[in-house]
Amino acid sequence: MHKFLRSIGFGAYQKKKDVSRLLEDLEKGTGEHRRIQIDDDNNLCQIRAEVAPNMGVVIVGETDEDGIFRREYYYPYLTSNDISSQVECTIQRHTEKETFGGLLDETRVGISLIFYLDNGFEYLERKLDRASRKVKGVKLTGLSGEGKILLPLHKTRKQIEKAQVAAKDRSSLLEAARNGDEDAMETLTIEDIDMYSQISRRMMKEDIYSIVDSSFMPSGIECDQYTVIGEIVRVEEKVNRITKELVYDLTLNCNDMVFHVGIAKKNLLGEPVIGRRFKGQIWMQGVAVFEE
């Protein structure tokens, strides 16, 4: 069973036989069916079964000689209409199966951000048709198994403006350092030392979550999972049409980057309100927007 299936309202499905029965029902439903012929002997079929607006399960497999669909794998998904990043994006195929991962050199989060490509089927179609695969933007979303709501930090308008300028300056320095600028590297090193010193002093009297406004950190050994703390800028409620479970679609601003996170209401500790913060582990997905 997929670890993040409960993120879209299927928390009651704990056994493989129950999940298998669910997938069979979704295959027979009215979801979007797509098929491409990879070569003379192999094809790839995809079914996107929506259980709420922009949320559902993708089932991928192959059609045999008798026209019968044979499921190979599935995964839950959440999509959004917000462009999260427009930096250079690299896409590579996973070793195990016909799925793809994307990599963003996103200076705002300070790391190379890796995500699971949700529209890998479109990427494969473009590859077979020899169409452009250059990415002009990525719509990022995350699925979370459990999380909690943190209270916001009180900031004055002047502090907010100062933080925005500092973040922009740091992003420019990181870009320069990646291009080999030694002065930028030295400045970043000094800033990190000063920041470490300030945090160490404040930690003696303050709680860590009153110091760290937002964060974006890799979590575990899987490269597309992260632990995030981000400010909630929008809250949308969705109802799984099959289980009737309530799912929150939270729009987060994390390190100046905006993306969506889906989490079932029963797995979220606290009440999500605009201005408060979300903390949790997410599996990052993304839809690549290709140039025409």
Return the H-helix or E-strand segment holding 213: none
- In sequence order, what DSSP letters do the residues of 123-185 get, joined into one string? HHHHHHHT----EEEEEEEEEEEEEEEEPPPP--HHHHHHHHHHHHHHHHHHHHHHTT-HHHH
Q: Is the model more confident about 239 or about 171?
A: 239
pLDDT digits (tens, 9 = 90+) for 228-284: 999 999 999 999 999 999 999 999 999 889 999 999 999 999 999 999 999 999 999
Question: What's the DSSP call for residue 1?
Answer: -
CA 250 to chain centre: 12
- In this prediction, residue 1 carries a pLDDT of 64
The radius of gyration of the chain's CA atoms, rounded to the nearest angstrom, is 21
Give percent of the chain with pLDDT exceeding 90: 55
Among the listed residues 76, 176, 121, 148, the one whose alpha carbon sits nearest the alpha carbon of residue 290: 121
Q: Distance between CA 175 and CA 240 in Å, rounded?
A: 42
- pTM value is 0.88
Q: Which two tokens stand for residue 235?
A: 């809250």
Phi/psi-derived region of residue 157, left when phi > 0, alpha when psi is between -120 and 50, beta in every other case:
alpha
With 80 as the cut, is the pLDDT of residue 116 above it? yes
Range with lowest mean pLDDT among 40-44, 161-165, 275-279: 161-165
pLDDT digits (tens, 9 = 90+) for 122-148: 999 998 888 989 999 999 999 999 999
Q: Distance between CA 135 and CA 102 in Å, rounded?
A: 10
Q: Give the orientation angle of helix 157-178 with respect to helix 182-203, to 10 degrees.
A: 140
With 80 as the cut, is the pLDDT of residue 167 above it? no
**Cα-Cα-Cα-Cα dihedral sign, residues 254, 206, 219, 56:** negative
CA 8 to chain centre: 14
Distances from the Cα of 60 to the Cα of 31, 35, 47, 69, 149, angstroms: 12, 10, 6, 9, 35
- In this prediction, residue 63 carries a pLDDT of 87
Mean pLDDT within 213-230: 89
